Amino acid sequence: MKVLVTGGCGFIGSHLCRMLLARGDFEVTNLDALTYAADPLALAEFHSDSRYRFVKGDICEWETVIEAMQGCEVVFHLAAESFVDRSLHRAAEFVRTNVDGTALLLEAARQLGVRRFVHVGTDEVYGSQDDPGEKATETSSLEPSSPYSASKAAGDLLALAAHRSYGQDVVVTRCSNNYGPRQFPEKLIPLTIVNLFDGVEVPIYGDGRQVRDWLFVEDHCTALLTALEKGKAGEVYNIAAEQDPEWTNLDVVKALVRMTGANANLVRFVEDRPGHDRRYAMSSSKIRELGWSPSLSLEEGLERTVSWYKANEDWWRPRLPKERSVPQHKWAGVHK
Ligand code: NAD
């Protein structure tokens, strides 16, 4: 089966491409613009594999998209601007890629007769689930808090509208926060790990009591394959670990301090991010009914992730920002 993966040099996209190619029955074209978040060498082991093709290009450019998508039966759409903090400073870039780019890809898929379009979304579109025990289902209202999640919600709605307007075979997935090897060290878990390795302060927003339902990246990818193979056109599928008990960000950081053997005094509480959602929680029973479930506990996944970063300093060190401490003025001009 010929598949187009957008954003295949990103964190999740590279794991998905690797999983598809390991299965043997997929040919993969990876369309990626190679933004700062990309790893151009993420799939280097496949560069001479005839089942893999890399196209450097922007999902907002029609000719490029048509060229990359030609002959593909399936699209996994992952290309996105994905970091909430950046979206608070540069919302327009997020709208361009996450909304305009999604609309263009859907239109191209319609014209080329793509059999199934899997649109990869996020739990952040549901906003904060502040009542303990409350879990968003696929029919819960969309209440995004950041320009990132608002742009992703718009992409989801465009995908669902393509199904209703044109009968396109579209499946929308919404996954909780991912972690694992090869995640850019700007996100909480890899940033914490590498700072702990280097004895650099670990910033935690606010009181650190935010709840995220962390899912190991490969478990997200197996859920995307389930959505491809068993999902119903026009449907949304939540993908979540459903940790019980729930973990706060502080719990995650404390576990990483323990696993790295670092000094707990490195943890610093810093000014919270504007609009920071308190708790994400989803029910994932709909995709579990299709036979999917996560393979790793959070403890196991974190241990694996720490081991990977320990063994792959060459990968993460060049990706670190020059300034390692959190600037005092980070939200200047953003907070009211
Ligand atoms: P990432 O930032 O690591 O990778 C994004 C990739 O998209 C990069 O390789 C980048 O070069 C590429 N890209 C960006 N703009 C592009 C453009 N205009 N044209 C072509 N390529 C472009 O992101 P990720 O964490 O791997 O997330 C992938 C997808 O999964 C995103 O759609 C994100 O919203 C969604 N998602 C992520 C998480 C998470 O925790 N990381 C959770 C749920 C859903």
What are the catalytic residues? Answer: 123-124, 148
Q: Give the pLDDT of residue 328.
A: 58
Cα torsion for 59, 44, 228, 35, to the nearest 10°? -30
Pocket test for ligand 1, best of 19, 35, 63 (most atoms within 8 A of CB): 35
Q: Is 11 in the pocket of ligand 1 (CB under 6 A)?
A: yes
The position carrying tokens 């689930």 is 129
- What is the distance in A from the centroid of ligand 1 to the CA of 29? 16
Summarize pLDDT for 105-151 with one digit per residue, the tens.
Answer: 999 999 999 999 999 999 999 999 999 889 999 999 999 999 999 99
Task: Report which ligand 1 atom has the smallest distance to the Cα of 184.
Answer: 3
How confident is the model over 217-273, as pLDDT tens digits? 999 999 999 999 999 999 999 999 999 999 999 999 999 999 999 999 999 999 888
Q: What pTM was computed for the model?
A: 0.96
Q: What is the average per-residue pLDDT within 8-30?
A: 97
280 lines ligand 1 (CB under 6 A): no
Expressed in angstroms and rounded, the spacing between residue 265 Cα and the centre of ligand 1 is 33
